[in-house]
Amino acid sequence: MPFQTLPLWIQWAAFCLAVNAGMINVLGLLTVLHQSVSHMTGNVSMFAMAVLNGKLEAVIYLALVVLCYVIGSFYSGLILGNSQFSLGRRYGLPLSLVALFIVLCWFFLPYFPRYALLWAAVAMGIQNAMVSHYKGTIIRTTHLSGVLTDLGLALGYRVRGLWVDRRRVILHLAILSGFLVGGLLASWLYPHLKLNAFLIPALLSALLSVIYWVIYFRHQRIEN
C-alpha cells in the first residue's frame, strides 16, 4: 500500500505529539538549568564534557537523563513489540504512561527540580519510540534532526526534478510545526502557570490516549 494513503488523523496525531514534545522540551529548558529532555544529542555531548572536566555530579545526572530516555523506549518496546505503526496495537497504554510520568515530573519538581525531570525524560523516550516507522518512513516526534534532514532531501530531489512523496513532506511539516507550536505555547504559559504548565502536556497526552482508545475499539469492532 503506498504512503499516499496515510490517514489524515495520523498526521494530526503526529502534530499533537510534536506539540507535546515541544512543550516538554521548552519547559525543561526554562525550569532546570536549560536541560533538554526530548532529545539526547546535546546531553551526550554535555556528558562527554563533564567527564573530561571531572564534574562527577554532572556526569551522574546526565547519565541518568540519557538512561531514563532509554528506559522510556524500553517501555514502548515491551508494551508494543514493534515500532512499525499498526492500528491494532494498544498505543493508548504508552500514551497513558507518558501522561503519568509528566504528572510525576510536575509533582516532584518543587522538591527535586533537577531529578524530577528524569520522569519527563522517560515520558519522551516512550513517546519517541511508540511509532518509529510508517510504510518505510522514519517518524520521530520528540526531535527535529531527522525531520529537517528529510525536508532538505525532499527539496533537493524536487530541484533535480525527481518525484517527491507529498504526504511524506506534509507529515514532516506537521511534526516541525507541532514542535514549534508546543515551544511557543510553553514559553507563553510558563510565566503565568509556572510549574503547573507541565500539566498541559500531561492533559494532552491523556486526551490523545482516550481518543486513540476510541479509534482502537471501533477498529476492533469493524475487524470482528
The pLDDT assigned to 9 comes to 75
CATH number where 184 lies: 1.20.1250
The pLDDT assigned to 33 comes to 60
Where are the alpha helices (H) located in the chain, listed in sequence order?
8-31, 41-53, 56-80, 92-108, 113-130, 145-159, 166-193, 199-223
The pLDDT assigned to 2 comes to 43
The pLDDT assigned to 11 comes to 83
Bridge partners (DSSP) of residue 134 are 137
The pLDDT assigned to 1 comes to 38
Residues 6+ apart with CB under 8 A from 192: none
Bridge partners (DSSP) of residue 137 are 134
How distant, in Å, are the alpha carbons of 10, 25, 136, 140, 221 from that of 198? 24, 10, 33, 21, 35
Tell me whether residue 156 is exposed, middle or buried, using C-beta atoms within 10 angstroms of its C-beta: 0 to 12, 13 to 18, 19 or more.
Answer: exposed
Inter-axis angle of helices 56-80 and 113-130, nearest 10: 30
- Asked if residue 2 is part of any domain, the answer here is no
Residue 200 has which C-alpha cell? 498541559
Going from the first residue of the chain to its last (224 residues), give the mean pLDDT of each consecutive group of 10, the final group possibly shorter.
Answer: 60 92 93 79 92 95 95 92 73 94 96 91 92 67 89 94 88 94 96 95 96 84 72
Q: How many structural domains are present in the chain?
A: 1
* Residue range of the domain that includes 192: 9-215
The Cα 39–Cα 183 span in angstroms is 14
- Asked if residue 92 is part of any domain, the answer here is yes
- Asked if residue 27 is part of any domain, the answer here is yes
The pLDDT assigned to 5 comes to 55
pTM as predicted: 0.90
User: How many other β-carbons are positioned within 10 Å of the β-carbon of residue 60?
Assistant: 12
- Asked if residue 162 is part of any domain, the answer here is yes
- Asked if residue 173 is part of any domain, the answer here is yes
Strands 137-138 and 133-134: antiparallel
Alpha carbon 177 to its chain centroid, in Å, reads 13
- Asked if residue 222 is part of any domain, the answer here is no
- Asked if residue 224 is part of any domain, the answer here is no
